[in-house]
Structure 1
Amino acid sequence: MAKLNRKTVLLAKIETTPGTDAVPTGAANAILARSCTVQPLVAENVPRNLIRAYFGNSEQIPVGIHSELDCEVELAGAGAAGTAPAWGPLMRACGMSETVTAATDVKYAPVTGTNETVSIYAYIDGLLHKLVGCKGTVAFDITAKQVPVMRFKFIGTFAPVTDAGNPAGVDYSKFQRPAAVNKTNTATWSISGYTGPLQALQIDLANTLVWRSLVAYEGVEQTDRQPTGSINMELTTVASKDWWSTVRDVVLGALSITHGTVAGNIVKIDAPKVQMSNLAYADQDGVAMMTSNLTINPNVGNDELLITVK
Structure 2
Amino acid sequence: MADKIFMKNALLLGKAESSYGVDPTPTGSANAYLAEDMTLSPMEGETVDLSYYKGFFGSDISLQTTHYMTLEFTLPWIPGTNTPGTASHFDPLFKACGLAATAMASAVTGTPQGSNTDAITLASNASSTNNIYRGVIIDISPTGEKAVLLDYNGTTKRAGTMTKTGVWDVNPTNQDDYSICQNMAYDPVSKDQGSIAFYYYLDGILHKMFGARGDFELTAEANNMQRIKFTFTGLYGGIADASMPTPSYSAFNTPVPLNSTNTMGGIHGCNMSGNDTGVQLKKFTFGLGNTVKHRQLVGSEAVVISDRMAKGSVSLEMTPMALLDWFDRIQESTTGIIFLQNGTEAGYRTNIILPKAQLMKPKYSNDDNVAMLDMDFKAIWTSGNDEVRLLEM
Scaled by the length of structure 2, what TM-score is found?
A: 0.77
Identity of aligned residues (%): 31
Question: Is 2:90 the partner of 1:13?
Answer: no
**Structure 1 regions of 5+ residues with no counterpart?**
none
d(CA) in 1 for partners of 2:209, 2:292? 15
Corresponding residue number in structure 2 for 1:84? 87
Give SS of 1:89's match. Answer: helix
Aligned to 1:295: 378
1:151-170 CA-to-partner distances (Å, cap 9, x unmatched) read 101111112211111112x1
CA distance in 1, matches of 2:26, 2:361: 44
Q: Which residue, out of 252, 260, 269, partners 1:193? A: 269
Q: Which of 84, 108, 112 is the aligned partner of 2:190? A: 112
Q: Deviations over 1:28-65 (max 9, x none)?
A: 11111122110010011211122221112222212221
Q: Distance in 1 between matches of 2:383 and 2:64?
A: 43
Larger radius of gyration: 2
1:65 alignment partner AA: H
2:292 and 2:305 in contact (8 A); partners too? yes
Distance, in Å, in 1 between the alignment partners of 2:295 and 2:288 is: 21
Shift of residue 192, structure 1, vs aligned partner: 0.8
The 10-residue stretch of structure 1 (40-49 or 281-290) with the greater mean CA deviation from structure 2: 40-49
From 39, 42, 54, the equivalent of 1:40 is 42
Indicate if the aligned counterparts of 1:64 and 1:211 stay in contact, CA closer than 8 A.
no
**In structure 1, C-alpha distance between the alignment counterparts of 2:388 and 2:205, rounded to whole Å:** 37
Query: In 1, distance between residues paired with 2:326 and 2:5?
Result: 52
| Residue 211 (structure 2) aligns with | 133
Please tell me whether the aligned partners of residues 38 and 69 of structure 1 are also in contact (alpha carbons under 8 angstroms). Answer: yes
- In structure 2, what is the equivalent of residue 143 of structure 1? 221
Aligned letter for 1:190? G
1:283 counterpart SS class: strand
Contact 2:93/2:196, CA 8 A, preserved across alignment: yes
* Alignment RMSD: 1.0
Distance 1:219 1:228 in 2: 26
> Counterpart of 2:370 in structure 1: which amino acid?
V
Counterpart of 1:3 in structure 2: which amino acid? I
Q: Give 2:255's aligned residue.
A: 178
Contact 1:31 1:87 (8 Å CA) reproduced: no
Amino acid at match of 2:257: A
The answer to whether the 8 A contact 1:73-1:151 is kept is yes
For residues 225 and 356 of structure 2, what CA distance do their matches in structure 1 show?
A: 26
**C-alpha separation between the residues in 2 aligned to 1:43 and 1:133?**
16
SS for the counterpart of 2:93 is helix
The aligned residue for residue 293 of structure 2 is: 210
Which residue of structure 2 lines up, in the alignment, with residue 163 of structure 1? 241
SS at match of 2:30: helix
Kept in 2, the 8 Å contact 1:85–1:175? The answer is: no
CA distance, structure 1, for counterparts of residue 302 and residue 192 of structure 2 = 15
Q: Deviations over 1:3-44 (max 9, x none)?
A: 122221111111111111111101111111122110010011
In structure 1, what is the Cα distance between the partners aligned to 2:63 and 2:325?
A: 57
Rounded to whole Å, the distance in 2 between the matches of 1:51 and 1:266 is: 66
How many Å separate the matches in 1 of 2:254 and 2:83? 13
Give 1:237 deviation, angstroms. 1.1
What residue is the counterpart of 2:154 in the other structure?
A: none
Q: 2:101 aligns to what?
A: 98
Larger displacement relative to structure 2 (144-153 or 278-287): 144-153
Contact kept, 8 Å, 1:36 with 1:69, in 2: the verdict is: yes
In the alignment, which residue of structure 2 is the partner of 1:229?
A: 312
Residue of structure 2 equivalent to 1:304: 387
State whether residues 141 and 150 of structure 1, in contact with CA within 8 Å, keep that contact through their aligned partners in structure 2.
yes
**Alpha carbons 2:92, 2:194 under 8 Å: kept:** no
Q: Distance in 2 between matches of 1:99 and 1:31?
A: 23
Deviation readout 1:219-262 (Å, 9 max, x if unpaired): 11110010010111111111111000010000011111101111
Q: Do 1:145 and 1:182's aligned partners in 2 also have CA atoms closer than 8 Å?
A: yes
1:24 aligns to what? 26
How far the C-alpha of 1:171 sits from its partner, in A, is: 1.1
Unaligned ranges ≥5, structure 2: 107-181, 272-278
Contact 2:13 2:200 survives alignment (8 Å): yes
Length-normalised TM-score, structure 1: 0.97
1:183 is matched by which residue type in structure 2?
S
Give, as a single letter, the amino acid of the residue that structure 1 aligns with 2:90: W
Give the aligned partner of residue 338 of structure 2: 255
Name the amino acid aligned to 1:174: A
**Is the 1:80–1:265 Cα contact (8 Å) retained in structure 2?**
no
